[in-house]
């Protein structure tokens, strides 16, 4: 990660099942983010189509084309883009986050924790590994929405060297305070930057509150969205993160001999 990095979250109302419409909106948002100096842009969870469970197998077939367009946009706009899409593989559908770095797909991450309350486990396959990747903007760890409630994952990403965790989400009302509190906790306890992009508006019976957040390694709110469509921008300062890690040495003060090592 360079000394400083401009980051954007692109919060919008995902049109259920409407890939062309959502992609058009993302093109516009990405162009604005790049014009504002951003080098890393984070999109919401399942941003191409939302949780259109009935049609997901068909919609997932368009994901390779969507990724081709993201690669083109990332190269044209000099961006790293992170967001999750439906992936069809192994006769299952996965909720998969991709890191597209200036024209190249660096890695992908399949959502580990499926939200059984909303039936995700009935329609989607679960991933089996955590992901941290070196990119042109720094070392990025990936998580998706409900993963936020599992601190073990975030600690593993931190121990694997993540400097920034990108978290695409579709987090609905009325759990706004859980969203904000958990995000700040994950940033504080792991002393890293967090870019969390939620959607907004309504999908079926669900109402989404937005409130995308860009957080410092101290858990400070660098930028926060409201409930409507918008993009937020902030600067991540790497030296501030390193200085804070030296000041409060959470990693070297850990006691894995007592509570066990992460596998």
Active-site residue list: 45, 111, 145
- Nearest-CA neighbor of 208 among 168, 253, 256? 168
Tallying the residues shown for the chain, one arrives at: 263
- Nearest-CA neighbor of 52 among 88, 20, 26, 14? 14
244: left (phi over 0), alpha (psi -120 to 50) or beta: alpha
Residues contacting 170, CB < 8 A, separation 6+: 14, 44, 45, 46, 50, 51, 145, 198, 199, 203, 206, 208
3-state helix, strand, coil in the chain (%, to 5): 35, 30, 35
101: left (phi over 0), alpha (psi -120 to 50) or beta: beta
């Amino acid at each position: 990660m360079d000394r400083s990095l401009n980051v954007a979250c692109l919060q919008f109302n995902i049109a259920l099942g409407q890939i062309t419409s959502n992609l058009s909106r993302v093109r516009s948002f990405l162009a604005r983010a790049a014009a504002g100096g951003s080098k890393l842009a984070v999109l919401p969870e399942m941003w191409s189509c939302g949780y259109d469970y009935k049609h997901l197998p068909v919609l997932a077939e368009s994901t390779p084309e969507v990724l081709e367009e993201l690669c083109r946009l990332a190269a044209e706009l000099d961006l790293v883009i992170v967001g999750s899409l439906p992936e069809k593989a192994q006769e299952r559908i996965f909720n998969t986050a991709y890191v597209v770095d200036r024209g190249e797909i660096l890695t992908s991450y399949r959502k580990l924790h499926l939200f059984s309350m909303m039936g995700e486990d009935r329609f989607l396959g679960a991933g089996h590994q955590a992901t941290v990747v070196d990119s042109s903007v720094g070392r990025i760890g990936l998580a998706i929405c409900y993963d936020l409630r599992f601190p073990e994952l975030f600690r593993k990403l931190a121990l694997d060297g993540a400097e920034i965790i990108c978290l695409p989400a579709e987090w609905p009302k009325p759990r706004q305070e859980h969203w904000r509190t958990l995000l700040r906790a994950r940033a504080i306890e792991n002393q890293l930057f967090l870019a969390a992009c939620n959607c907004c508006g309504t999908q079926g019976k669900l109402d989404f509150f937005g409130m995308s957040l860009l957080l410092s390694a101290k858990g400070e709110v660098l930028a926060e969205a409201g409930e409507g469509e918008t993009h937020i921008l902030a600067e991540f300062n790497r030296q501030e993160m390193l200085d804070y890690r030296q000041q409060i040495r959470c990693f070297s003060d850990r006691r894995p001999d007592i509570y066990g090592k992460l596998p």
